[in-house]
Amino acid sequence: MKNTRQTALTFLCMTFLLLLANTSTASDVKRGARIYQQYCTPCHGQEGNGRGPRAKNEALQPPPRNHTNGFYMNMQSDVRLFKVIKFGGKKNNLAHIMPQWKHILKDKEIFTIIAYIRTLAQDPEYVAPTTQGWRKNPYAGDEREQLKDHIKKQ
Ligand code: HEC
């Protein structure tokens, strides 16, 4: 019973905080960037591309997520990012290498990081399949496979 109530309360708090987070400002982004530089860049890299010093020579497997990959990152909700950052990879079916930050970062700080991460994600440039060849997207799989039905119709 206590657990159910706790879960409900956590959910309510998270919803409220997410509403707050939706109103992120330029100063949030700046603050998030500072925290990111301090805690996240050793793995995720200065530019957020997943190539931090700790990930050199494929030392981390799976590699830290590339936060500049809009193809993947723009598909993830704020709730999802919040959960992974707060509770860590293991609790969210990702690698345990991604630490939990709940003992170090306040919820509000996590939201500023999310605001910053959103500024990193770039949608990849479209590459026409006929002239440039097919791209393999590490997260989305083979584009050719996804477009198979579309191609047949053409
Ligand atoms: C010790 C290395 C390490 C540190 C430090 C680290 N991460 Fe990660 N992070 C990872 C790895 C590895 C993954 C990929 C996990 C996987 O693919 O299973 C990851 C994945 C993520 C993801 C992807 C979530 C998703 O839905 O795919 C986010 C967001 C993230 N990290 C944010 C952060 C933030 C913010 C910080 C700093 C507060 C941070 N990470 C610090 C290693 C790290």
The string of pLDDT tens digits covering residues 49-84 is 999 999 998 899 999 999 998 888 888 889 999 999
113 Cβ below 6 A of ligand 1 = yes
pLDDT for residue 72: 87
Instruction: Report the domain count for the chain.
Output: 2
CATH number at residue 82: 1.10.760.10
Please indicate, yes or no, whether residues 101 and 136 belong to a single structural domain of this protein.
no
Choose one of 29, 43, 92 to mutate for the ligand 1 pocket test, by most ligand atoms within 8 angstroms of C-beta: 43
154 residues of the chain, pLDDT tens digit each: 567 777 777 766 666 555 555 567 899 999 999 999 999 999 999 999 999 999 998 899 999 999 998 888 888 889 999 999 999 999 999 999 999 999 999 999 999 999 999 999 887 666 555 544 445 444 445 555 555 554 455 4
Choose one of 94, 98, 118 to mutate for the ligand 1 pocket test, by most ligand atoms within 8 angstroms of C-beta: 98
pLDDT for residue 148: 57
Please indicate, yes or no, whether residues 10 and 83 belong to a single structural domain of this protein.
yes
Residue (of 54, 25, 62) closest to 46 by Cα position: 54
Q: How far is CA 139 from CA 24, 52, 76, 135, in A?
A: 28, 19, 12, 12
Q: Give this prediction's pTM.
A: 0.76
Angle (deg, nearest 10), helices 107-120 and 26-39: 100
Range of the domain at 134: 130-154
Please indicate, yes or no, whether residues 119 and 137 belong to a single structural domain of this protein.
no
